[in-house]
Structure 1
């Protein structure tokens, strides 16, 4: 049902609804509820509303009330859902995220809903009432559009693109609009459609056993039809439905054969709605728990009895996943839902397979690589209360109704942090709030827990459970530090591989084992420069050098995606011999082919895993032994468990240790220890070679000894002394504008306002290391303050008021202010 925007209700008994729109609005927008919708609407339902002159949106009802706002309200136009799409707890979670991470409810809605549930206002074209059927003044494209509109009363822009077989249709539409041949109509469209397949079943004339036996007489003259009927009768006994295509494949019969049987009233065709969500056909036993796993399970249960989340500090390959599985099975057996969070779903296929092998279709996978239809179906399955989920941070937004257990695996991983766009949340922290909200048990697990979680355990907020031995008594890998300046017996020095690493790679491959090489930089070389005048080719949008990709022979910006061909000569001085500097995964792969020409080599980074199934195929090839060496970025450090890996090499530890970030040492230690854990995971001890200039660096000493306790104590003392998180709360304020002078003026002004109240707790404004990003010039400020709820509220209130004031300052209204709570 639809109403026009002018229909408004102003009677004393009018009901109003505060609606969340998928826009960055400071607050919800209030609409009047028409009389015919009163009693139908509840919090969490989607409704169609008008915002601005001609735009329609699907909004979410946040609150129903009888308080008339101080502006003329528009009515709700239609009700999209009969039942709420979101739960009350979900809406409360959205409120908390918007408040804590200083963003709007509209931004949380945009991040939280699958795109097919975010209804869009699409332009619908119809013929104008003044059109007189005179087509003599129309060109060919215009005529095709008008002809289609005489056959169909309405066309979307997508329809017109299909008719004209071109993407650019706006000039044609504009020309017809200017001459009043057509006019636009705004209409809401729900883009979700159920998945249907073409199926075959017995016709109404062939339902009884006698009628089916008689059907053989009808097909007796055709061997193919007889074979199809026999196969159908046998196949339909074991299947809930028979697809038309499956029947053709199983019998080799053409579609014409099956159609002939439809004409004989033996079969009939029908469309069946099926789920897009895949599941395992059968489940398997999880296996017996080891003594260490039983002890850890008891420790976790004791934590939960005390009402505390459990932090499992378990070395790589200690069997943490088996402990999770035991608790997940218990929760599911009690008809509770489980949320299992992983840092990056694309990198954890092996864990997903293991979970589904044990839990079957009781657990589903939710992530961004699913198509939109699949995501909608999982959303509805979770809302029904019967489905558990494994996924990355986006799975936090699903509508759980009976959540009993939350597991955050690899809780230290920086991938849990959302950087852009807003909300800039940390999935680990939101998961803990979600568990608290539902009264669910919570587990965090890692071989290298974050300092934040470690401090929570030390303070008694979390319970600590330790698993210090590898499953099955496997010895930890031998770790050696190789000096990057090392030379071979001839005094030769290679910039990428030390003689130690090369020799170990050869021995490993000769034994029939595999090698993983870690280099935390993709592409061939990160710098393309002129040796004469030292000109460096930079991105036109960002203040960063372009990375050369040899396979594509292109220079690419890893910040904004800008791509260009390498210049043939230096734009500054004309030098023809431009050079490359630095090392990426592509270059490592290229150099390996020189030193180990017979080795089967592959690369795992963002460039080689863009396709939906590319990563899975690459992992499968490595898993079955079709590859000898896998070169990769951080991808190779997470979630991989290969029994043939005998050697892990870290190409340059110095790059990790010199990164300009107060967390650099922690991230370097975590990465190196995690990638080291990929070696020797089954029945043999592995080896790890770390190449570095500073072999005596304290972090490398701790990695060498696998001494997490020593590292974390030293890191805690360092961060506490310098007043860094987790001993201080931190908020970063970033100002962005396309003009440098404007953003500098805005930052200076806002910094002055904040300094009056924050004093030395405010740092900046200052220019970040990357001073321009995606055409925007940047200025940063950082606030650090004691971690108390009252101080947090005070600081956020100051920031909001300063942001609002800046937005009202003449000449600075276009400056964008980004607030990032708990950055990095």
Structure 2
């Protein structure tokens, strides 16, 4: 979208969307030198306040000068073509309004860091400095800095600290500024740097095969250089095809296992030429990508045809297919259809862990036309995907929730796999969006279609489908000859009474693990808690160490030998004595993945056991390494958290153990039963995914709980009917919409008083029966802030939500304007999960 430059007045202004929590864009003047580069959606560098240098986006160009403040000049327009398109700007606006945040907060979340310009404080000599007659005295270290600045035009603060010592660096800079000898300025630089590799090729005339003999004669008495030349010829295949010299060879490949000296000599002599090229950070196929054939079964083909037929009438279709029913093959065929029609496809996954297997599979089919986007990628890799979409290199992207922000301009299909997953929801910071719901809006903006897939759909999504708002397609059989696993619930209390427990493992689970290992099969053990144990406790006085910043107990991590808070990240060493009574009788309480791994290694010392949780997968490729090792049968038993439940497909897994079903079932949340049913079904789906039926053993103390009953019967429909009637009865989604408001303050009394004050304002325009609270949440202190929570309920399709949200924002602003609440924070979460 380009501004018409012919119809402008003398002065031009641009409204710039800044990545800050501001209610509206900020106006800047467009310098005459930059007018030709002005485009809506282009990135600009601007100064905000006295010192801040920011990257903003042009959202409007006009000739109206602001009357409240003097417009500063745009420092620089970074883009020749826009980095953000009209669809994205429209989406940012919708998200800010719907999720009750600022457009700048959406922009900050949307733009990868590599597209944001950073500024770095530097110092230089003051060109206007005049040493008057009284002679300004300078300390020795100050003179050292001045001397360095005379040799080097500018220095960073870090460089100054290295020159004079870290402790005195900042004080010396302040002193020199006060004496007017130096000035501070911000050097602005773009973060994205292309990947450059150094290459080597033969220089003319030796790039001709006929001149090769002459070159060998010249190097006759130089064996090391001759060897390097021979290596080049062998690696490039130059003698068979001299054209290979044009593309040359990677310098590192040529000189590995060799000293640099012979190579340098060949370059100086004019025999070799060294040059640089910009390359992609992603693997590229040598051959043009060809769609590999995927053969659908009759059931899958029928499901695909039904999806396409329902897309004729519906914007969205829910594909409810049991685990192992072959949903991915249907996705692939639909993606091919859309791409062949010239449109783009976004394939959303809830977790990075899921991308490993699926990306490998999709890469074989779609080649380098497929882009990948997730948070484990570096800034530069994410920028390459972003720019690859703009340039047309990537027409199909697989990614996690942040992929909805990518610059698509012709979306034909969005696939939301495992649509029920709560990890599609962003919790902090703003925007607190749900990628599934935002993707549905994005598809509507592009007039495209959305396919949602799950073995255990969210209650809200299934409700939309059975009530005909969305289409519904169901797959009730596993693909091919694969059989559903046998589910067995084991009563932990009875096992304890009968003394059959082996630590935290029931007798049946222990026997089945032993049997699986004997038959050379693999085992997955699921526990929804990482760490060694949820907490430690003193046997004498019962004291439990808690986090100083949050109202939670510290989790015991044996591997790192520390107690760690999973909310704020603080950690401390493991105490040898109780800090309350001094006793040395300290025991671990509960069960975490680390302890399970430890116990399994004791019970089955010959088995190779690996843990997959947040602690073992922090590095970029750690997910991939664990999954590949498990796939290649290098691991016998995989212990993990939610990561092991989702979408992974392993041939030899015939046993899954769910170690503590009760912690999920009895969690105090209206969605607890839904989440438990989904999690248990998903992890059960990892067992027996070929012709042999697997076994799932679920350890519980609530053997007669309705959720356990429906799970054993593998009856999603029955579970849904029970759950939906409860939701309707107690006014919860999908019948009502929720907005959670959290009042935070470092003082518990002020947090309580502030929440009451806000409640008093809300009740003027929201009926009391629709307001729950204020009350302290389950965890009432996080990162040194005390919390009070208010939940608002609004009947779906009856309340005027945009108007109500506007009034809520007004009420919040009025409360925060009061002096008593100057340190308070109020957070709104629309559609909390």
Q: Which residue of 1 aligns with 2:398?
A: 390
Structure 2: how far apart are the matches of 1:785 and 1:290? 45
SS of 2:766 mapped into structure 1:
helix
Of 729-738 and 11-20, the range deviating more from structure 2: 11-20
Q: 1:512 to 1:816 in 2, by over 3 A?
A: same
Match of 1:45 in 2: 42
Q: Is the 8 A contact 1:135 1:143 kept in 2?
A: no
Q: Distance in 2 between matches of 1:372 and 1:158?
A: 23
Contact residue 310 and residue 443 of structure 1 kept, 8 A = yes
Distance in 2 between residues matched to 1:345 and 1:725, nearest whole Å? 28
**DSSP-derived class of the 1:473 partner:** coil
Pick closer, same or farther for the CA change 1:195–1:230 going to 2, 3 Å: same
Tell me, yes or no, if the aligned pair for 1:343 and 1:410 is still in contact at 8 Å.
Answer: yes
* Gap change, CA 1:406 and 1:27, over 3 Å in 2: same
- Measured in 2, the distance between the counterparts of 1:193 and 1:327 equals 36
SS at match of 2:681: helix
In 1, distance between residues paired with 2:570 and 2:702? 35
1:130-209 mapped onto 2 (5 Å cutoff): 130=129, 137-139=139-141, 145-160=145-160, 170-171=170-171, 173-174=173-174, 176-178=176-178, 180-209=180-209
Match of 1:795 among 796, 800, 804: 804
Counterpart check, 1:290 vs 2:297? yes
Indicate conservation of the 8 Å contact 2:356/2:624, yes or no: yes
Q: 1:158 Cα shift? A: 4.7
Q: Deviations over 1:4-51 (max 9, x none)?
A: xxxxxxx97532211111111111111222333334312111112221
Contact 2:739 2:793 in 1 (8 A): yes
Q: 1:573 to 1:39 in 2, by over 3 A?
A: same
* Alignment partner of 1:763 out of 741, 764, 772: 772
* TM-score, normalising length: structure 2: 0.93
Question: Within the alignment, does 1:815 sit opposite 2:818 as a pair?
Answer: no
Distance 1:435 1:345, change over 3 A: same
How far off is 1:529 after superposition?
2.0
**Deviation at residue 334 of structure 1 after TM alignment:** 2.5
Cα displacement string for residues 569-600 of structure 1 (whole angstroms, at most 9, x for unaligned residues): 22222222122211111111112122222222
2:626, 2:687 → 1: CA distance?
Answer: 18
* Among 627, 630, 633, the residue aligned to 1:622: 630
Structure 1 residue runs of 5 or longer lacking an equivalent are 1-10
Alpha carbons of structure 1 residues 31 and 354: separation in structure 2 relative to 1, 3 Å: same
Q: Distance in 2 between matches of 1:147 and 1:522?
A: 55
Matched-pair contact (CA < 8 Å) for 1:45–1:84: yes
After TM superposition, the score normalised by the length of structure 1 is 0.94
Measured at CA, do residues 780 and 491 of structure 1 come closer, stay the same or move farther in structure 2, by a change above 3 Å? closer
> Does the 8 Å contact 2:771/2:790 carry over to 1?
yes
**Secondary structure in 2 matching 1:541:** coil
Query: Where does residue 4 of structure 2 map in the other structure?
Result: none
**Aligned-pair CA distance for 1:176:** 4.5
Helix, strand or coil for the counterpart of 1:487?
helix
Aligned-partner Cα distance in 1 for 2:176–2:797? 62
- Whether 2:97 is the aligned partner of 1:89: answer no
TM-superposed CA distance for 1:814, in Å, is: 2.4
Q: Alpha carbons of 1:13 and 1:511: their partners in 2 closer, same or farther (altered >3 Å)?
A: same
In structure 1, the residue matched to 2:5 is: none
Does residue 55 of the first structure (1) align with residue 62 of the second (2)?
no
**Higher mean Cα deviation, 29-38 or 173-182?**
173-182
- The answer (yes or no) to whether the contact 1:569–1:577 under 8 Å persists in 2 is yes
Q: Which residue of structure 2 aligns with residue 231 of structure 1?
A: 234
1:554-703 matched pairs, under 5 angstroms: 554-703=562-711
For residue 224 of structure 1, report the CA deviation from its aligned partner.
Answer: 1.0
1:281–1:510 distance in 2 versus 1, CA, 3 Å: farther
CA distance in 2, matches of 1:758, 1:35: 52
The secondary structure found in structure 2 opposite 1:757 is coil
1:418-433 matched pairs, under 5 angstroms: 418-433=426-441
**Structure 1 348/376 Cα, relative in aligned 2: closer, same or farther at 3 Å?**
closer
Cα distance change on mapping 1:376 and 1:226 into 2, 3 Å: closer
**CA–CA distance in 2 between the matches of 1:571 and 1:254?**
60
Identify the range of structure 1 (27-36 vs 205-214) with the bigger mean alpha-carbon deviation. Answer: 205-214
Corresponding residue SS for 2:275:
strand
Q: Within 1, Cα distance between the matches of 2:620 and 2:435? A: 23
User: After the TM superposition, which residues 519-530 of structure 1 pair with which residues of structure 2 at under 5 Å, given as runs?
Assistant: 519-530=527-538
In structure 2, the partner of 1:244 is 251
> Cα offset for 1:120?
2.2
Distance 1:215 1:336, change over 3 A: farther
Q: How has the CA–CA distance of structure 1 residues 226 and 584 changed in structure 2, closer, same or farther, with 3 Å as cutoff?
A: closer
Which sections of structure 2, spanning at least 5 residues, go unmatched? 1-7
Cα shift at 1:398: 0.9
One of 318, 321, 327 as aligned partner of 2:328: 321
> Would the alpha carbon gap of residues 700 and 160 (structure 1) be closer, same or farther in structure 2, given more than 3 Å must change?
farther
> Any conservation in 2 of the 1:277–1:378 contact (CA below 8 Å)?
no
Shift of 1:464: 0.6
Contact 1:477–1:677 (Cα < 8 Å) also in 2: yes
Q: What is the aligned partner in structure 1 of residue 278 from structure 2?
A: 273
1:64 equivalent in alignment to 2:61: yes
Do structure 1's residue 256 and structure 2's residue 254 form an aligned pair?
no
Distance in 1 (alpha carbons) for counterparts of 2:418 and 2:504: 30
SS in 2 for 1:82: coil
Q: Is the 8 A contact 1:348 1:640 kept in 2?
A: no
Task: Give 1:797 deviation, angstroms.
Answer: 1.2
Answering whether residue 372 of structure 2 is matched by residue 359 of structure 1, we say no
- Quote the residue 2:104 is aligned against: 106
Q: CA 1:663/1:696 → structure 2, altered by over 3 Å: closer, same or farther? A: same
Q: Distance in 2 between matches of 1:271 and 1:155?
A: 29
Offset at 1:441? 2.3
Q: Which residue of the other structure, out of 801, 814, 819, is the alignment partner of 1:805?
A: 814
Q: Contact between 1:218 and 1:264, CA under 8 Å: does it hold in 2?
A: no
Distance 1:134 1:344 in 2: 62
CA displacement at 1:143 relative to structure 2:
6.4
* Contact 2:482/2:691 (<8 A) preserved: yes
State whether residues 320 and 445 of structure 1, in contact with CA within 8 Å, keep that contact through their aligned partners in structure 2.
yes
RMSD: 2.4
- After TM superposition, list the pairs within 5 Å mapping 1:512-523 onto structure 2: 512-523=520-531
- Which residue number corresponds to residue 25 of structure 1? 22
- 1:302 match: 309
Q: CA deviation at 1:366?
A: 1.0
Distance 1:670 1:633 in 2: 14
**Aligned-partner Cα distance in 1 for 2:538–2:275:** 67
Change over 3 Å in CA distance of 1:440–1:157 after alignment to 2 = farther
Cα distance in 2 for residues equivalent to 1:550 and 1:47: 49
1:336 matched to 2:343? The reply is: yes
Q: CA deviation at 1:188?
A: 1.9
Relative to structure 1, the CA distance from residue 790 to residue 722 in structure 2 (aligned partners, 3 Å threshold; closer, same or farther) is closer
Closer/same/farther in 2, CA of residues 21 and 489 from structure 1, 3 Å limit: closer
Q: Find the residue that maps to 2:820 and give its secondary structure.
A: coil
* In structure 2, distance between residues paired with 1:211 and 1:32: 62
Report the secondary structure of 2:734's partner residue: coil
CA distance in 2, matches of 1:740, 1:491: 47
Instruction: Report if aligned partners of 1:46, 1:58 keep a CA contact under 8 Å in 2.
Output: yes
Q: Which residue of 2 aligns with 1:715?
A: 723
User: CA–CA distance in 1 between the matches of 2:164 and 2:628?
Assistant: 43
